[in-house]
Structure formats: structure tokens, C-alpha cells
Structure 1
């Protein structure tokens, strides 16, 4: 398996991978009924392209299965740069969307991030945001997701980030992030996320029971090293 940065020439294939391996099965997407397996969702694809354009996302490629100049993508991790104020702007923009299911998902994510402000807590202006982790069903169980996260940490270090964050929506990604030194900053149980009438907004299926906001500090500056001791 070869791991490489995702460039613009790969965007179409990455989106094809996500339609088949992530969009329908991700816990929040599935709970909201956002889209069917293999189908597109314009709002979600725009969200993915926004991360890809930061040029810090990675893919795992099975070179042996690649053919006719087209690489076989086994997994991807979409990483973006999150700056102070971005989440507030994204929440405002969300009011313009006509997709009620998409709005349900990202209202939860954005409001959870605003409630627990990592920028203020860690005194940073920007964070390395691990947004989507996806592995093709035919390649699961081979450590690909672990390696994608490991290499994402390396990319963050190389680009001078002091803090990584991830909104982990399912139990499997939560375990992977914690195994790489991410710590839980805040949680939101799905059965406690309700509307004014007490109805659960996103009825996520077990074993996925909560959203976790996770973080990892990178001690790549003298100040950070002193604080970590």
C-alpha cells in the first residue's frame, strides 16, 4: 500500500470512493438518511472539496490493483485547516442550505465546536482538522485507517501546527484517534441531542452512542515542550 497526498487530479476519484464507502454509512449520515450508497449529496461533496483544497489530505493506494492510469483508492483521510471564526461562519452559511438532513448533522457538529472553544482553550489561531476518515470495505482490517491518521499527524507537524482536532462520530474512529494520542475534550450523547419536544434529532444506531470532540497537541515549539513536561 502506498500513501500519498491528494492532489486536484485525484478529487474525482476521491469523491467516487466516498460515495461508495462513506457517505451512506457514516453514523450521522445514516441516522439522517442523507443519501443512499453510491449516491451523491451536493452539500456533502462541497464540504469534502473544501477540505481537499487545503492540500493536506491523504489517500492509501493499492498500486497492484491500479490500472489504465487510474489508481485504486483503498482509503482516504480528509484534513483541513480550521481557523478562528470559521465555525461561526459555517453555521451562518448553514441557514442557506435547502437540505434539512445536512443541516441537522452540521448544526450538531458546529454548535458542539462553538460550545467547547478549542481556540481559546489552547490559545491557537488555527488547527489541523481531521474531518473524514474512510476505508473501502474490501480493505478494512488491514491497518489502513491507523496509518492514515499516523501520517496526518506527521503532515500537521511538518506544516507547523500545534493542535489537531477531530469530530469523531463513531466508535471505530474514536478508538483509532485515541490510539494515536488524541484525547477527548467533550462528548455529546446522541440520545440527549433532542428538539423542543424531547424527540431525538439524530437516532444513531448502536454501537455508536456519542459524538466526541478529540484533540492532540504537538509539542514542536519550546513553549509547548515546557508545558508538556
Structure 2
């Protein structure tokens, strides 16, 4: 290496170093994944990843030590079948690194969740379904915004060894663009964790409702969920100008 440097004139050496530093920086920023819509063949891998990367860490599920049941798998597959979800796939081996499971939300959906909760035998599944119906109903966004159908970002999760690379951010941003392209006038995210709330704040989404976990109590008047700090509440965010914001994101 020393002999090579001696043969290079100083100006050329400087250009050589600058060029290689620039190349190294570009390589560092290169993403190893693509954001795509999942196919039916991806469903099993998504469910497996969700069991490892979502349920054990999501505050309401972890607070109950909830183990996903067939009912929740069916709910997830039903959401996936709507065709609005996105996944991050590794460019090199096709592994799913993260997912953003999206669905449409109507004003009667909370009642459907409550009805389903009354039919399931698993107590923890029943508690979660009733709670999800409660927070879905609470802000009454259909009436406030005069819409019949809302694009809802329901479940967002990334493989543990792939976190910190911007995958969750990209999945959420692409989901907002997809909502705009599909003609939705309102996008909703229920941030049940502090991490998701930070992501929503970073995206400058509008906070429309906050439900502290301590206020949601059972028949014994005790809170059903006691997640650890800093997960103190569910924060409900919206993007009420998805078409306008999608144009900004595409630039």
C-alpha cells in the first residue's frame, strides 16, 4: 500500500480517497430489502414472524402474557386478504424482515369485535378483543371526519436482528402512500406502544385521542393491562390529508 501511495501524485491520491469514501457511504445506505405486497404464500411466514416479533413485545399482549390463538391468526389472515398490507423482503434470500398489516375499518367493526369476543372461550383473547373494540370506537372518527371507511395500520413489527435500519418507518410511509393511491381520505394508527407513538410523532401525524391503560378496568374495577414503562397509554393518530402527504413523500 505504501508503494502505491508513493506512485500516486498528491492531487490524485486525494481524489482516490474521496471517491472511495463516497462509495463506502453509498454502500452503507443501501437497503437490503424491498417493500412489497404479500402473497398468499407469505402468510405462514408472516404469522410465524408475528408470533416472535409482535405478540411478546406489544404492551397489551405482553401484559396478559397472551399466546396467539387460532382466532387471532384468522383475524390476521382476514386483514391480509384485503390486499392493503405490506412486507419488507430481503433482496437476497426472500426472507420477510418486517410487516405492516393494514385493513379497512368501518363504523360497525367495533360491534363485530365485541360480538366475536363473546363467542371465544379463551379469556385473554376475549379481553383483547373487547379492548380493541373499545379503542376503535372511542374517537368516533367516522362521524368526526364524515367517512364510511378508514385505512387502518393495525400491526407493525420487524424482526429483532433487523431493527434500527428504518424498516418500520419505510413500511409505515409506504402504507400511507398506498392508502392515498387507493383513494382513502383518512389513515389511522393506534399506537399501543411508546415506540409506535414516537414513530407517529416523527412522521408528524395528528394525535386525536389518548387512552391511558389505567382507565380501562375490568369487573373488579382494576386495570386489565399493566404494561411496563414507558407504555402508559394508547395514542390514536391520523393522517387526514393522505393524498397531499403522499405527494410530498414521493418527491
TM range (shorter): 0.7 to 0.9
In structure 1, how many angstroms separate the alpha carbons of the residues matched to 2:195 and 2:56? 16
Q: After the TM superposition, which of the residue ranges 176-185 and 126-135 deviates more from structure 2?
A: 176-185
Aligned partner of 1:133 among 156, 170, 173: 156
For 1:226, the equivalent position in structure 2 comes to none
Within-5 A mapping of 1:1-229: 1-35=33-67, 40-64=68-92, 66=93, 71-218=94-241, 220=243
| Pairwise CA RMSD | 1.5
Change (3 A) 1:155 1:95: same
The answer to whether the 8 A contact 1:161-1:218 is kept is: no
Which moved further from structure 2: 128-137 or 113-122? 113-122
Which ranges of structure 1 fall in alignment gaps of 5 or more residues?
222-229
Counterpart Cα distance in 2 of 1:29 and 1:46: 17
Moved more, 139-148 or 19-28: 19-28
2:107 and 2:212 map into 1 onto residues whose CA distance is: 26
- Which whole-Å CA distance do the structure 2 matches of 1:31 and 1:173 have between them? 17
Structure with the higher fraction of residues in helix conformation: 2
Match of 2:210, SS? strand
Deviation digits for residues 25-64 of structure 1, max 9, x if unmatched?
A: 21111001112xxxx5212211211210111101111122
Please give the alpha-carbon distance, in whole angstroms, between the structure 1 residues aligned to 2:206 and 2:131: 20
**How far 1:189 sits from its partner (Å)?**
0.9
What TM-score, normalized by structure 2, do the two folds share? 0.80
Question: Are the counterparts in 2 of residues 127 and 161 from structure 1 also a CA contact under 8 Å?
Answer: yes
Contact 2:184–2:242 under 8 Å retained in 1:
no
Shift of 1:219: 5.5
Normalising by structure 1, we get a TM-score of 0.88
- The answer as to whether partners of 1:28 and 1:169 remain within 8 angstroms in 2 is yes
1:191-226: per-residue Cα shift (whole Å, max 9, x none)? 2222243312111111111011211112549xxxxx
Q: Quick check: 1:134–1:145 contact (8 Å CA) kept in 2?
A: yes
CA separation of 1:122 and 1:220: change in aligned 2, threshold 3 A: same
- Supply the distance in 2 between the matched residues of 1:99 and 1:27 (Cα, whole angstroms): 19
Structure 1 residue runs of 4 or more that deviate by more than 6 Å after TM superposition: none
DSSP-derived class of the 1:206 partner: coil
- C-alpha spacing 1:197/1:86, structure 2 compared with 1 (3 Å): closer
